[in-house]
Amino acid sequence: MMTRKKIFEKIIEAVIYASGTATTIVVLLIVFFLFREGLGLFRQAPMQKTYTVAVHPQNPVRQLSIDQLKAIFSKKEKNWKTFGGKDQSIETFSSEDIEKHLKGQDLGEAFSKLKGLVTTYAQNKENLVVVMPKKFMPNKFVPIPTEHMSIGAFFGGKEWRPTSEPIHSFGVLPIIAGTLLVCFGALLFAIPTAIIAAIYLVEIANKKVRNIINPFIELLAGIPSVIYGFFGLVVIVPFIQKTFALDMGETALAGSIILGIISLPTIITISEDAIRSVPRELKEASFALGANHLQTIFKVIVPYALSGIVSAAILGVGRTVGETMAVLMVTGNAAQMPSSFLDSVRVITSTVAAELGETAQGGIHYRALFMLACVLFILTFWFNLLAEWIVAKKTQK
Amino acid sequence: MSQSKQQKQTIVFTTFMVITVLVSAISIGVFFYIFFNGISVLSWGFFTGVPENGMTEGGIFPAIMGTLILIVGSGLVAFPMGILAGIFMNEYAHQNWFKKFVRLMTNNLAGIPSIVFGLFGMAFFVNGLGFGVSILSGCLTLGVLILPIIIRTTEESLKFIPDDYRLASYALGASKWQTIWRVILPAALPNIVTGVILAIGRVAGETAAILFTVAAYFLPKMPTSIYDETMALPYHLYVISTSGTDIEKARPYADGTALTLLMLVFGLNLLANWYRKRLNKKIKV
């Protein structure tokens, strides 16, 4: 009887220990799956999976980089001489051109006649470069090895055109710039406002006022982000459109306003905790030296609570960077380099949310979006660690 | 000299007060805007009907049911594990590197953006384990999303239980688990429940995490198994306000949906607050 009880106790203990490791396991799983899908981006060429590049056998060019291909297909480079070939103009052919060049021809069931038709079309065109699925490549054309998507092209690329054919562009600079702009605008007013509110609530307001205001701050934190997005869409966006006489009000400014509001309660509550933890003796000592309340706040309380306030601000940054629905609904999502707060911008989260639904699983676009999520994960993970480290350092002292 | 010091203080304090009042005014503003626009739309038919005419009018019953299903399902995933993990943190773990590490991981999990959870759910539950876009995948994703909230509130509630309780129980010959099950948990339960309600509120409003794991654009019939997709209130609001067939015409319908969602989340918050207050009173007596 006694042993049975002991065994039961041991089992319970094991279950509890296992549950204790749950969050660690989840974090590891998240890291594993995000990066497995995301890093695959750099093992593929930035075009559709089955596609290859090929040139006419008489063309001496046997190597073309992704950038060169992009230049060729966007008609920026027009002569083979640039790439070490003969002095002749470049002609291009990709899946998009089937309609143009083989118009009215019978392609057969499931494109069974396509290869033949393309071969007829291409065989005498020495200056032709073709990007097509392998099985439709014209006979005798020489395949050119394609480079994988490079890390530099992802993080340093200025163009985000995930569906441009035949070569996709996955440069995240416009998206990073959009994220920075929106978050910067949000925090510019949210951080000072939140710190002031925290100081007021802890130090200045009496208990009655605090009890009235606190539920509103909690409400602010409790409203789902999709409601903020809806509110932004029907109130703030039209307001901005009217005020600045724009064609559309979905701008970085709208995103900043909404994100600022969303990050307020996070920064307020954590700053409040920091300010509340200032020892009473410090305050009393300051009063005893003849300082008034205002001086005490700025010379004693804020400096003492600074590490907590800074970590509150950092967590606020993390909150704004990771916010998805509200930004998605009010910023217009144009993937371009923003030049002002009145431009439509696209941030990391909204890019993922808006585009992932339309991608093929395992495709390059899918992987590029997972890579973006990895960036997001690393950023927020880093912000959390930083915030905790700052507080831990202070406690050690 | 002293007078100007005093004046300066008054000016600064007043400014601070005005700013703080403005902050609370934002929440009042958002709340009442949604309330007064949506209230005229709400009716019995709105809650019990299905979307009609390309989701520009009709009711939101499937979305309400979907959200309730997600609440229950994610609760089943997260509550047992989260509460056990909270017990581990406060009752079993020793003050060592492992506890610190687990705490770090829990805090970090809490800070991960919900869209990242959505992608993880898609890669792991939907594709990896082959559950597909389904209620099962959605509940598991939402479950891990609220796990840190449950763990933290459980741990905090257990911390409040005085050690006398534990010692008294041990003195009576109870084992560790008996003590936790019979003494500690019942005493901490009300506070844990508060945390649970807040977690439910989070699930009710969560959108990004369900985009790719469970949410259906339009599905007027009730799901029949955990492998079905379902509509959900927050996703429904997103869809009808951004990508519906006729957004202008659907405005009143969207207003009603927004108010329903807000009432659900707000109601849960009120419930948690009320419960906490009632409890604090009880403890004082």
Mark whether B161 and B227 lie in a shared domain. Answer: yes
Looking at the fold, whether A145 and A294 belong to one and the same domain comes out as no
Rounded to 5°, the CA angle B241-B245-B247 comes to 35
Q: Are A239 and A379 in the same domain? A: yes
- CATH code assigned at A186: 1.10.3720.10
Which residues of chain A are within 8 Å of residue B251 when distances are taken between CB atoms?
A: 234
B141 and B16 in a single domain? The answer is: no
| pLDDT at residue B121 tops 90 | yes
Mean pLDDT of A286-308: 90
What is the distance of C-alpha A280 from the center of its chain? 44
Stretch 134-173 of chain A: residues touching chain B, C-beta under 8 Å: none
Residues A214 and A353 in one domain: yes
Identify the closest residue of chain B to A30 by CA–CA distance.
B120
State CA A323 to chain mean position distance: 10
Question: Is B111 close to A9, i.e. CB distance below 8 A?
Answer: no
Contact A47, A147 (CB under 8 A): no
User: Is residue A225 in some structural domain?
Assistant: yes
Which of A48-62, A367-381, B164-178 shows the lowest mean pLDDT across its residues? A48-62
Residue numbers of B between 175 and 194 with CB closer than 8 Å to A: 175-177
- Verify that B210 and B153 share a domain, yes or no: yes
> In what side-by-side order are the strands of the sheet with A128-133?
A91-94, A128-133, A51-55, A142-144
Last residue in a domain, options A153, A188, A217 = A153
Q: Report pLDDT for A311.
A: 92
Whether A329 contacts A262, CB under 8 Å: no
A contact test, residue of B27, B213, B240 with most A CBs within 10 A: B27
Overall average pLDDT of the B150-162 stretch: 90
Task: Identify whether residues A210 and A148 lie together within a single domain.
Answer: no
- Half-sphere exposure (CA, 13 Å, Cβ side) for A184? 9
Does one domain contain both B228 and B264?
Answer: yes
Express each pLDDT in A102-152 by its tens digit: 766 767 766 777 777 777 777 777 777 788 787 777 777 777 777 788 888
For residues B49 and A379, what is the distance between their CA atoms, to the nearest angstrom? 43
Handedness of CA A59, A60, A62, A68 (dihedral sign): negative
Model confidence pLDDT, tens digit, residues A173-195: 999 999 999 999 999 999 999 99
**Is A291 a member of any domain?**
yes
Q: Are residues B230 and B271 in the same domain?
A: yes
- CA A208 to chain CA centroid, Å, is 43
Nearest CA of chain A to the CA of B237: how many Å? 7
Asked which of A31-40, A268-277, B55-64 is least confident by mean pLDDT, the reply is: B55-64
The verdict on A61 and A196 lying in the same domain is: no
Q: What is the complex's ipTM, to 2 decimals?
A: 0.91
Q: Are residues B180 and B222 in the same domain?
A: yes
Are A157 and A371 spatial neighbours (Cβ–Cβ below 8 Å)?
no
User: What is the band of A202 on the pLDDT scale with cuts at 50, 70, 90?
Assistant: very high
Please count the structural domains in chain B.
Answer: 2
Q: Does A299 touch chain B (CB under 8 A)?
A: no
Could you tell me if B211 and A357 are in contact, meaning their C-beta atoms sit under 8 angstroms apart?
yes
From the list A201, A235, A261, which residue is nearest B20 (CB)?
A201
User: What confidence score (pLDDT) does residue B257 get?
Assistant: 92
B16 pLDDT above the threshold of 70: yes
Provide the H-helix boundaries in chain A.
2-20, 22-39, 66-73, 98-101, 114-122, 151-156, 173-199, 207-222, 225-231, 237-243, 252-276, 280-288, 293-296, 302-322, 325-330, 348-355, 364-396
pLDDT surpasses 90 at B195: no
pLDDT digits (tens, 9 = 90+) for B85-112: 999 998 888 888 888 888 888 988 988 9
Give pLDDT tens digits for A22-80.
Answer: 888 999 999 999 999 889 888 888 887 778 887 777 777 777 777 777 777 777 777 77
Locate B130 and state its tokens. 């082959």
Same domain (yes/no): B31, B79: no
Does residue A135 sit in the same domain as residue A209?
no
Bridge pairing between strands A91-94 and A128-133: parallel
CATH number at A55 reads: 3.40.190.10
Residue A145: is the preceding peptide bond cis (ω within 30°)? no
The answer on B197 and B165 residing in a single domain is yes
How close B89 gets to chain A, by Cα (Å)?
A: 7
CATH of the domain at B141: 1.10.3720.10
Q: Which residue has the higher pLDDT, A371 or A53?
A: A371
Chain B residues inside the 8 Å CB shell of A320: none
Do both A306 and A226 map to the same domain?
A: yes
Domain boundary among A153, A188, A218: A153
Do residues A114 and A256 share a domain?
no
Query: Looking at residue A40, what is its pLDDT?
Result: 86
Question: What average pLDDT does range B176-181 have in this prediction?
Answer: 89
Which of A196, A235, A377 is closest, CB to CB, to B19?
Answer: A196
Residues 6+ apart with CB under 8 A from A388: A311, B104, B107
Does A2 have pLDDT greater than 70? no
Predicted confidence (pLDDT) at residue B219 exceeds the cutoff of 60: yes
Instruction: Mark whether B29 and B51 lie in a shared domain.
Output: no
Shared-domain flag, residues B64 and B33:
no
pLDDT > 90 in chain A, percent: 38
Asked if the C-beta of B280 comes within 8 angstroms of chain A's C-beta atoms, the answer is: no
In terms of phi and psi (left: phi > 0; alpha: psi -120 to 50; beta: otherwise), the region of B53 is left
Q: How confident is the model at residue B285 (pLDDT cuts 50, 70, 90)?
A: very low
- Structural domain boundaries, residue A247: 173-396
A250: in domain: yes
Question: Which residues of A, range 166-225, sit inside 8 Å of B by Cβ?
Answer: 193-194, 196-197, 199-201, 204-205, 213, 215-220, 222-225
> How far is the C-alpha of B70 from the C-alpha of B234, rounded, in Å?
12
More confident residue, A73 or B255: B255
Which of these three, A93, A118, A153, is where a domain ends?
A153
Quick one: residue A8, left, alpha or beta (phi over 0 = left, psi -120 to 50 = alpha)? alpha
Does A179 reside within a domain? yes
The mean predicted confidence, pLDDT, of chain A is: 85
Domain that holds residue B168: 44-284
Say yes or no: B54 and B175 in one domain: yes
- Whole-angstrom distance, CA of residue A347 vs CA of residue B197: 32
| Pair of tokens at residue A258 | 């909404």
Count up the domains in chain A and report the number. 2
Residues 6+ apart with CB under 8 A from B282: none
Residue B80 has pLDDT above 50, yes or no: yes
Query: Do A392 and A279 have their domain in common?
Result: yes
Q: Measured between CB atoms, does B28 come within 8 Å of chain A?
A: yes
Are both A118 and A192 inside the same structural domain?
no
| Closest-approach residue (CA) in chain A for B83 | A19
The reported pLDDT for the residue numbered B32 is: 92
Same domain, B117 and B145: yes
